[in-house]
Structure formats: structure tokens, C-alpha cells
């Protein structure tokens, strides 16, 4: 179910979404769930027990991917959620369960992430509907082309009285594998800052311009990139990445006049992250000034660190222990739909091991025993949560 043969690429509301929706809808209906697609393409299934229906718990994750992705990021959490609905039915738990397959988390198509969960959490900025993809199609147009009605956007917002939101997700990092553990409860999701920067110099002939008279944009960018790495290396818990670099005019015999870069900075403590970003912008400005260049920068994302709900996380750690696994808690270095949902309701996350610490890559994988562990923990969690309402 991909846009590209031989690779898994499934961006927001592209044609393979209809295949995914149909596949998951069939599974939901077979479980006796009522199913609908909301205004931004989230597929939602609701199971209400026939006897003593209790408060609603929302489970889920996302079904979009980055280009050339792995098979488990996001969608595994949706499939596991459906398995837990089946467990809840067999156990006759007095808990209504809604499973949401979020339509967009990665930001791969429009550079604007969490479209699906923002709508459910009531945090959608409608001005972002004008954002366009590489083909010039806006978010608004993509939604309309998929046959959805933006006038019903308010209907997508979840009830604040829900018992909470639970997301099961692969770790996407090496920690659990390094400690030989299957699962962990997530205590918080790190804050993120994303910037776009431009070093603006002067393009000129590579052979006739002396070194001391150059205003080389890529040389400035290269110097600054080493500063980014150096700051992250010496700062405990900080990660900083320059993931994109575009150069103009991009010719072998021309001094680059423009270098455009991205910056991604993350830390569990917002004060540390913000101080690092300020430091790096100051260093970029100093480099540009010394080299006779201009610096321009814009903030693309500013997301604070998000703690998970303490009560639900405690239930999750208890569930891990009662399922027979060592209790491990950790923060998430990646952003997830859970960080958006936490602004609407009590939220918790369960991680399972990522072999090789590999994700956002076609070799991304999981171990069957870890999937089993996640299901066992999820089952224990549902039993304990149901007991609270009993």
C-alpha cells in the first residue's frame, strides 16, 4: 500500500490511503466496531461493550510514512490497538474503546506534521490549510480531493471526558536493545525546535576570485554545522541535527552564493533546548558577519517537552511488571501523536524494542516476542484501567 513500487511511501491522503482505510475498516467491522472517516482522514472505529459500557479509552497511532519507510512506524500501533479490542471483548471488559488510525504524523507531504492528531485534539490552525506540497496542492485541496468535508472539522475533536489516549509505538532508537528489554513505559516526549536558515553570500567564479575576497555561503554553512555537532556532543541529553542542505547555484566551478539549511534541536528540558538554539543562532550570525554574509532564519516548529500522565504511566509500569517483564521507563526522543493528544486528555505510551535502533528506513523491524510482550502488557493495562472504573 504505497505510492512507489518496491518502497513504502505513504504520504497524507495519497491514493494508497484508500487501500489502508479499506483494509483496516474490514478489520474494525469484523470486530463489531462502528467505523467512520473524519474531516482530515482519520479512520476511527468504536467498540462499545454490550454489557455495562464504561468510559471511552482511545488507542491508536498513525498510518502515514516518510518516503522509503519501514513497515512498523505508526501502523504497528494501529494493528496492536485492534488486537487489544479483541482482547477486551474476550475479557468482557466494561470499557468502550475507540481506535484511531491518524492520517498524518510525519509531515512528509506538506512539511506540517500531526495533521490527524491536531484535529482530534482540537489544536488545528486553519491557516495551515493553505500549505502546499511539491505539486502545488494545498492541504485544503488534498482533503477535498479525498472526498472529505472540512465543514465537519469540529466533529473530529475528541471528548475531554475520555479516559485517556494510549499509543503503542516502536522505540525508533537503540536503548531497549542495548538493555536487552522488550518494552518500556514512556514518561515524556522531548521538546523540539526546528529552524530553516540561509547563509546569503555572493556567487562568483571559482578560478578568478581570491580566497580573501570570497563570500562563500557553503563554507560558512560547513563551519556552522561543526559548531552544531560540537554543542550537542558536550551537552548531556541534547541532540542537534542539520538534516537538509541546499546550495545555489550548485555548480562545481562557482563559489556558492546561497546555502539553505535545516536545524533540529531536541531535549527533555525546554530551558536547555531553548538555550542551545539561541547559542547556535548567535554562532551562525557571528560566522556570517565575519565572512561578510547575511543570515536569515525562521522557526518552523516550537514544541515544548510533553510529560505523559503520571497515573496512566503508573498503570502502564504496573502492567509491565504483572506481565512478567522488567520495568523500564524512558523519555522519547521522537515526536509522536501522543504529544499532541496529551494537550487534550490524559495520555500514556508504551515502547517496544527496535532491532538495531533502526527506523525511518526500509530495514526497520520488530521481533515477534516483543510484539507479544506489548500485547500482554496492553491487556494487563486494560484490565487495571477497567478495574478503576468498576
3-class secondary-structure state, position 220: helix
Give the list of residues 6+ apart from residue 169 with CB closer than 8 angstroms, or none. 61, 73, 74, 76, 77, 336, 338, 349, 350, 351, 352
Residue 95 reports pLDDT greater than 60? yes
Rounded Cα gap, residues 47 and 51, in angstroms: 12
3-class secondary-structure state, position 305: coil
The pLDDT value recorded for residue 161 is 87
Q: Which backbone phi and psi does 259 adopt, to 5 degrees?
A: -130, 125
Q: What is the DSSP letter of 290?
A: H
The pLDDT value recorded for residue 311 is 97
3-class secondary-structure state, position 171: coil
Count of Cβ atoms closer than 10 Å to residue 263 Cβ: 25
Torsion of CA 125, 172, 373, 85, to 10 degrees: 20
Rounded Cα gap, residues 330 and 180, in angstroms: 14
Arithmetic mean of pLDDT over the chain = 96
| 170 CA to centre of own chain | 11
Beta bridge partners of 8: 69
The pLDDT value recorded for residue 390 is 57
What is the pTM assigned to this prediction? 0.88
% residues pLDDT > 90 (the chain): 93
For 158-179, write each residue's pLDDT tens digit. 988 899 999 999 999 999 999 9
Residue 51 reports pLDDT greater than 90? no
% residues pLDDT > 70 (the chain): 99
3-class secondary-structure state, position 291: helix
Residue 350 reports pLDDT greater than 80? yes
Rounded Cα gap, residues 185 and 313, in angstroms: 7
Residue 121 reports pLDDT greater than 70? yes
Beta carbons of 44 and 38 less than 8 angstroms apart: yes
Find the helix packing angle between 310-322 and 368-389, rounded to 10°: 120
Residue 248 reports pLDDT greater than 90? yes
Q: Which backbone phi and psi does 323 adopt, to 5 degrees?
A: -80, -5
Residue 300 reports pLDDT greater than 90? no
Rounded Cα gap, residues 390 and 376, in angstroms: 21
The pLDDT value recorded for residue 301 is 86
Max Cα-Cα span within the chain: 84
* HSE toward the beta carbon, residue 235, CA cutoff 13 A: 23
3-class secondary-structure state, position 173: coil
The pLDDT value recorded for residue 54 is 76
Ordered by where they begin, the domains of the chain are: 16-190+305-389 (3.40.630.10), 196-303 (3.30.70.360)
The pLDDT value recorded for residue 304 is 92
Residue reference for cell 516548529 = 301
End-to-end Cα spacing for the chain: 41
The pLDDT value recorded for residue 160 is 86
Residue reference for cell 488510525 = 101
Rounded Cα gap, residues 37 and 316, in angstroms: 29
Residue 274 reports pLDDT greater than 70? yes
Rounded Cα gap, residues 337 and 335, in angstroms: 7
Q: What is the mean pLDDT of residues 345-363?
A: 97
3-class secondary-structure state, position 54: coil
Q: What is the mean pLDDT of residues 41-66?
A: 93
The pLDDT value recorded for residue 341 is 97
Q: What is the DSSP letter of 309?
A: P
Q: Residue 200 class from Cβ within 10 Å (0-12 exposed, 13-18 middle, 19+ buried)?
A: middle
Give the list of residues 6+ apart from residue 82 with CB closer than 8 angstroms, or none. 24, 27, 28, 31, 45, 99
Rounded Cα gap, residues 125 and 387, in angstroms: 38
Closest CA to 224 of 275, 176, 302, 288: 288
Beta carbons of 194 and 87 less than 8 angstroms apart: no
Q: Which backbone phi and psi does 27 adopt, to 5 degrees?
A: -65, -45
Strands 43-47 and 96-102: antiparallel
Amino acid at each position: 500500500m504505497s505510492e512507489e513500487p518496491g518502497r513504502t511511501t505513504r504520504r497524507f491522503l495519497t491514493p494508497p490511503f484508500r487501500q489502508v482505510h479499506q483494509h483496516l475498516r474490514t478489520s474494525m467491522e469484523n470486530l463489531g466496531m462502528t467505523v467512520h472517516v473524519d474531516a482530515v482522514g482519520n479512520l476511527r472505529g468504536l467498540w462499545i461493550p454490550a454489557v455495562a459500557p464504561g468510559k471511552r479509552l482511545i488507542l491508536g497511532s498513525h498510518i502515514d510514512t516518510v518516503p522509503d519507510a519501514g513497515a512498523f512506524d505508526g501502523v504497528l500501533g494501529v494493528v496492536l490497538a485492534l488486537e487489544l479490542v479483541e482482547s477486551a471483548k474476550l475479557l468482557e471488559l466494561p470499557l468502550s474503546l475507540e481506535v484511531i488510525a491518524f492520517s498524518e504524523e510525519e509531515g512528509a507531504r506538506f512539511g506540517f506534521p500531526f495533521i490527524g492528531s491536531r484535529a482530534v485534539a482540537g489544536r488545528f490552525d486553519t491557516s495551515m490549510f493553505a500549505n502546499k506540497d511539491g505539486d502545488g496542492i494545498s492541504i485544503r485541496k488534498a482533503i477535498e480531493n479525498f472526498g472529505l468535508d472540512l465543514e465537519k472539522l469540529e466533529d473530529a475533536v475528541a471528548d475531554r471526558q475520555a479516559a485517556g489516549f494510549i499509543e503503542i509505538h516502536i522505540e525508533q532508537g537503540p536503548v531497549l536493545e542495548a538493555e536487552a528489554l522488550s518494552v518500556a513505559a514512556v514518561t515524556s516526549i522531548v521538546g523540539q525546535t526546528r529552524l530553516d536558515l540561509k547563509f546569503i553570500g555572493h556567487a562568483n567564479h571559482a578560478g578568478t576570485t581570491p580566497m580573501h575576497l570570497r563570500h562563500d555561503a557553503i563554507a560558512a554553512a560547513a563551519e556552522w554545522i561543526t559548531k552544531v555537532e560540537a554543542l550537542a556532543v558536550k551537552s548531556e541529553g541534547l541532540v542537534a541535527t542539520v538534516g537538509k542542505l541546499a546550495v545555489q547555484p550548485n555548480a562545481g566551478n562557482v563559489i556558492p552564493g546561497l546555502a539553505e539549511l535545516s536545524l533540529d534541536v531536541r531535549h527533555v528540558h525546554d530551558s536547555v533546548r531553548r538555550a542551545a538554539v539561541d547559542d547556535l543562532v548567535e554562532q551562525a550570525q557571528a560566522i556570517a558577519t565575519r565572512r561578510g554574509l547575511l543570515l536569515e532564519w525562521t522557526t518552523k516548529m516550537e514544541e515544548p517537552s510533553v510529560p505523559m500522565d503520571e497515573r496512566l504511566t503508573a498503570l502502564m509500569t504496573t502492567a509491565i511488571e504483572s506481565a512478567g517483564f522488567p520495568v523500564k521507563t524512558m523519555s522519547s526522543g521522537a515526536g509522536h501523536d501522543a504529544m499532541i493528544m496529551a494537550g487534550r486528555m490524559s495520555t500514556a505510551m508504551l515502547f517496544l524494542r527496535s532491532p538495531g535502533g533502526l527506523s525511518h528506513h526500509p530495514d526497520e523491524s520488530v521481533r515477534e516476542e516483543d510484539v507479544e510482550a506489548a500485547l500482554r502488557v496492553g491487556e494487563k493495562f486494560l484490565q487495571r484501567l477497567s478495574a478503576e472504573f468498576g
